[in-house]
Amino acid sequence: MICKTVLGNLESYPIGNKTKDVLNLQWFEATKRIMRKRTEANQEVVIKFLKEGSRLKEGDILFEDDAQIVVVNILPCDAIQVTPRSIYEMGTVCYEIGNKHLPLFIQDNHVLIPYEKPLERLLVATGYQVTKTHCKLLNMLKANVEPHQHGSAGSSLFSKILELTTKE
């Protein structure tokens, strides 16, 4: 099955008695626009999102028919959890991690970063309250700049090429 858009999310989408087939993704796969994966029921799913900056979220529905839906599940992974003691510490830890161009997640008043031993050592040495945890990384901060161009065309060259090559 080819999925080009997200149909909804389990939080607000009524599914009735339909079978729920789960597509398990690693946190870093949630930002990919093009990929081929298999669901828990061994169905092949091809994701082709044309829009740049698309992110899959926990519970996103990618496919629906009369009998089933395909739902995204973000798998848990090892992560560094920083618990800032003040708003100042929150700002400085986010700045330091962002300055290294690492992905950053904010969940339940904690800053989470995918686990890397050297980064854990650095954060401990800097005096932050750090613990290693195993959790789902769900709320990635969007602190990067989207590709853009000047002029009236409105979309990037990459988007135009992708759109031309994916027309059926």
DSSP states along the chain: -EE-S--EETTT---TT-EEEEEEE-GGGGG-SEEEEE-TT--EEEEE--STT----TTEEEEE-SSEEEEEEEPPEEEEEE--SSHHHHHHHHHHHHHTT---EEETTEEEEE--HHHHHHHHHHT--EEEEEE----B---SPPP--SSS--S-HHHHHHHHHT--
Q: State phi, psi for 154 to the nearest 5 degrees.
A: 90, -20
Mean pLDDT of 162-166: 64
The span from the CA of 40 to the CA of 24, in Å, is 8
Name residue, tokens 């759109």.
163
pLDDT band at 43 (very low <50, low <70, confident <90, very high): very high
The pLDDT of residue 155? 58
Mean pLDDT of 67-95: 93
Asked if pLDDT for residue 79 goes beyond 60, the answer is: yes
The span from the CA of 61 to the CA of 54, in Å, is 14
Q: State phi, psi for 129 to the nearest 5 degrees.
A: -85, 105
Mean pLDDT of 107-119: 93
Asked if pLDDT for residue 136 goes beyond 90, the answer is: yes
Q: What is the pTM of this model?
A: 0.77
Q: Which domains does the chain have, with CATH numbers?
A: 2-74 (2.60.260.20), 77-135 (3.30.70.790)
The span from the CA of 164 to the CA of 101, in Å, is 32
